Amino acid sequence: MTVKLVVLYTQPDDPAAFEEHYLGVHMPLVAVLPGLQRAEAGRLTAALDGGGQTFYRLTELYFADQGAMNTALSSPEGQATAADFQKIAPTGSRMFVQLLDE
Q: Could you report the per-residue pLDDT of 13-54, keeping only the tens digit for each?
A: 999 999 999 999 999 999 999 999 999 999 999 889 888 889
Per-chain mean pLDDT for the chain: 96
Give percent above pLDDT 70 in the chain. Answer: 100
Q: What residue segments make up the domains of the chain, in order of their start? A: 3-99
Torsion sign (Cα): 20, 26, 27, 31: positive
**Looking at domain 3-99, which CATH architecture does it have?**
2-Layer Sandwich (3.30)
| Residue 74, SS3 per DSSP | helix
State the chain's maximal CA–CA distance in angstroms. 41
Q: Is the pLDDT of residue 76 over 80?
A: yes
